[in-house]
Amino acid sequence: MSDKMADAMADPLLATRSLRKSFGGIVATDDLSLEVAAGEIHAVIGPNGAGKTTLVNLLSGLIKGDGGDIVFDGRAVSRLRPAARAHRGLARSFQITSIFADFSVLENVALAVQARSGHSFRFWRPTGDDQRLRGPAREVLARVGLADRAEILAGNLAHGEQRQLEIAMALATEPKMLLLDEPMAGMGIEESQRMIALLDELKADYTMLLIEHDMDAVFALADRITVLVYGRSIATGTPADIRANADVRDAYLGTSETG
């Protein structure tokens, strides 16, 4: 583990340096420096309003930071637009399910495949029978367990299936890293278990930044955990470190574990 930690510090896949973001008077991200090593699942936890979703929005480019840098895969990406960051290999999911509700499940994923297959200024050939899109899309659907739901309208999927579709769309962009914003949000116990199993399986192939409220999931999956409080990192370490950390217990875990 210590070797892995050393590697992480030497050459992280994703690093933020002194990242800052305020909304009006509210500081959502406060001088945040965070490093995610290639191959790890790095969980970010913290109470409501700690700035977790803001962090994912900053990393994926949906909002601009007030200061600081984001370095991904050796290059600064702070100034890149969301689409450009996706092309560099940063894929994300959304806390509030974000899919193309009036497309079929297969079309959702095929569109994500299309996004990484060169430009889309192609006006003539129908996509409906384009196996260069549909083939990879079906593979990804099979991987997340939605193969038999391919033709259904995405808006008609059950909530848990829509969360799986979110992951599928992220995977279809062939990312180097997944930014997962509460992938278990709103799920029942059984669905959560399935999602944990899926993420555990994906762990072999992808680096992940995982925002999650479900502490069982976090401690089951994460290699390292960063604890955010009021936009500031109060601790980073292995799950064991975090459990043992007195500050964290005071700020966050303590209340939920004694409760």
The interface region with other proteins, picked from 9-17, 85-93, 205-213, 246-254 by CB under 8 A, is 85-93
Q: How many CB atoms lie within 10 A of CB 78?
A: 19
Of 2, 123, 190, 258, which lies in the binding site for other proteins, with binding defined by CB under 8 A? 123
Distant-in-sequence, close-in-space partners of 196: CB < 8 Å, separation ≥ 6:
184, 217, 220, 221
Mode of pairing for the β-strands spanning 177-181 and 26-36: unpaired
Of 21, 92, 143, 224, which lies in the binding site for other proteins, with binding defined by CB under 8 A? 92
Of 34, 112, 202, 222, which lies in the binding site for other proteins, with binding defined by CB under 8 A? 112
The interface region with other proteins, picked from 30-38, 88-96, 201-209, 215-223 by CB under 8 A, is 88-96
- Is 176 an interacting residue with respect to other proteins (CB under 8 A)? no
Strands (E), the chain: 14-23, 26-36, 41-45, 67-72, 75-76, 90-92, 177-181, 207-211, 224-229, 232-237
Q: How many CB atoms lie within 10 A of CB 251?
A: 19
Helix (H, G, I), strand (E, B) or coil at 187: coil
Nearest by Cα to 176 from 257, 77, 68, 249: 77
**Minimum CB–partner distance for residue 254 and other proteins (Å):** 35
15 or 112, CB closer to other proteins?
Answer: 112
Of residues 221 through 240, those in contact with other proteins by CB under 8 A are none
DSSP 12-58: -SEEEEEEEEEETTEEEEEEEEEEE-TT-EEEEE-STTSSHHHHHHH
- Is 124 an interacting residue with respect to other proteins (CB under 8 A)? yes
81 or 240, CB closer to other proteins?
Answer: 81
Of 82, 145, 237, 239, which lies in the binding site for other proteins, with binding defined by CB under 8 A? 82
What residues line the site for other proteins (CB under 8 A)?
A: 60, 62, 81-84, 86-87, 91-92, 94, 98-104, 107, 110-112, 114-116, 120-128, 130, 133, 153, 169-170, 172-173
